[in-house]
Amino acid sequence: MKTAPSRRCLLASCLVLGLSGLCNISSALAQVSNFPSKPIKVLVPFTAGSGSDVYARFFGKKLSEILGQPVIVENKPGAGGALAVQSLKNEPADGYTLLLGSNSPMAVNVVTVKNLAYDPVADLRPVAGMTRSMAVFMVGNDSPLRTVADLEQRGRKQPPLNAGTYSPGYQLAAAQFTSKAGAPFQTVMYKGLSQTITDVIGNQIDLAVVDSTGSVATATSGKARALVVTGDTRHPELPNVPTLKESGYPEAVHYSWTSFWVAAQTPDATVKILADAMQKALAQPDSKVFIEQTGAEVMPFGPEAMRVFQLAEIERFRKAAKDSGFKPED
Residue boundaries of the structural domains of the chain: 38-132+256-324, 134-229
Can 38-132+256-324 and 134-229 be said to share one CATH topology?
Answer: yes
For 134-229, which CATH superfamily applies? Periplasmic binding protein-like II (3.40.190.10)
Work out the mean pLDDT of the chain and round it to a whole number.
90
Cα–Cα dist 135/173, whole Å: 8
Structure confidence by residue, pLDDT tens digits, 292-305: 988 899 999 999 99
Structure confidence by residue, pLDDT tens digits, 171-213: 999 999 999 999 999 999 998 888 999 999 999 999 999 999 8
Q: Output the CA torsion 135→139→140→143 (10° steps).
A: -170
**What's the pTM?**
0.84
Closest CA to 209 of 251, 249, 178, 240: 178
Q: List the alpha helices (DSSP H) in 51-191.
A: 51-67, 82-89, 103, 109-112, 148-155, 168-181
Say if residue 31's pLDDT is above 80. Answer: no
Structure confidence by residue, pLDDT tens digits, 57-72: 999 999 999 999 999 9
Structure confidence by residue, pLDDT tens digits, 139-148: 999 999 999 9
Architecture (CATH level 2) of domain 38-132+256-324:
3-Layer(aba) Sandwich (3.40)
Q: What is the DSSP letter of 220?
A: H
